[in-house]
Amino acid sequence: MKLLKTFVLILAVNFCLLQSVHALPTITTVLLDATGSISESDFRLENQAAESILTNLYEGNKINPNIDQPEDYFTVAWFGGYNQYQQGPYITTSDYYRYNMLRTQLKRVQHPKYDKTAIYSALSLAAVQLYFQEMKLGKKCLKVIHLVTDGQDNASPFEAKKTIVSNFPNTEFRIHIIGVGPDASITEFSQIAEQVTHINDYANVGGTIILYHNQLKNQPEPGNTRANKSRLHITPEMEKKMFDEFIGKFK
């Protein structure tokens, strides 16, 4: 336990050191698989992982407050089959009241035990909500999705997959897919995700996301971070077209 606390503290300090180099505010969605194949204990573990990420971000702001640093935003969402999706509110990662409110929600949320797994649909819905938040803020943001699943996509309609594959990767988003356990089949998402990670159990979810998120914060600007893969540069016109596609398919 002491080793774990030390590890989390180190990650928090590293996050603070890295935080000073990124120029854009970041909006982050942690997207959790909530299908029936996930046990109650694993569902609790993945929610605890989301809470640890939230705490890491909040503590990072406390340790190294920087008035010149853009405000970052965070939320958690749960998904299952097509249109089986629920999301918490976006919070600023420096606001204690909202931080505590989301922590409470994570402790109390009930496992919905959805019957299918629609990963492409979930990514699309998360992207829509991120765009809405960016529009609400009225400023350009780097939009980040960390998706956790123990299975594979078996319910997304063709149009959902087509929309994601044709628009990602791009300069506006960073997508991180985490597969947990032996039945997670996530290789296909390497074509659209910034990073695809496979881990053995849910106890490692929080640390995996924090490590990647810290690397993300170390990027001076949202440029090319995968030298071996071209990235679609999104113009305002393309952004509007992408947004309209998402809304048309999933509203």
Give residues with Cβ within 8 angstroms of 191, minimum separation 6. Answer: 165
- How many angstroms separate the CA atoms of 22 and 218, rounded? 7
Torsion of CA 202, 192, 212, 244, to 10 degrees: -100
Structure-token pair, residue 3: 């080793």
**How does DSSP assign the chain, residue by residue?**
-HHHHHHHHHHHHHHHHHHTT--S-EEEEEEEE-BTTS-HHHHHHHHHHHHHHHHHHHHHHHHS--TTSPP-EEEEEEE-STT-EEE---EETT-HHHHHHHHHHHHH-----BS---HHHHHHHHHHHHHHHHHHHTS--EEEEEEEESS---S--HHHHHHHHHH-SBSSEEEEEEEESTT---GGGGGT-SEEEEESSGGGHHHHHHHHHHHHHT-SSSS---TTS--B---HHHHHHHHHHHHHHH-
- The 10s digit of each residue's pLDDT in 168-196 is 999 889 999 999 999 999 999 999 999 99
Query: 213 and 219 in contact (C-beta within 8 Å)?
Result: no
The pLDDT assigned to 141 comes to: 92
Structure pTM? Answer: 0.82
- Residue 150 — left, alpha, or beta (φ > 0 → left; ψ -120 to 50 → alpha)? alpha
Where do the domains of the chain lie, and which CATH numbers do they carry?
Answer: 26-250 (3.40.50.410)
The pLDDT assigned to 59 comes to: 86
The pLDDT assigned to 11 comes to: 37
Provide the sign of the torsion angle of the four alpha carbons 39, 41, 44, 45, taken in this order: negative
Q: Per-residue confidence of the chain (251 residues) as pLDDT tens digits?
A: 433 333 333 334 343 433 434 468 899 999 999 999 999 999 999 999 999 999 988 887 776 655 556 678 999 999 999 989 999 999 998 899 999 999 999 999 999 999 999 999 999 999 999 999 999 999 999 999 999 999 999 999 999 999 999 999 998 899 999 999 999 999 999 999 999 999 999 999 999 999 998 888 666 554 444 433 445 555 666 656 655 655 554 44
Give residues with Cβ within 8 angstroms of 21, minimum separation 6. Answer: 217, 218, 219, 220
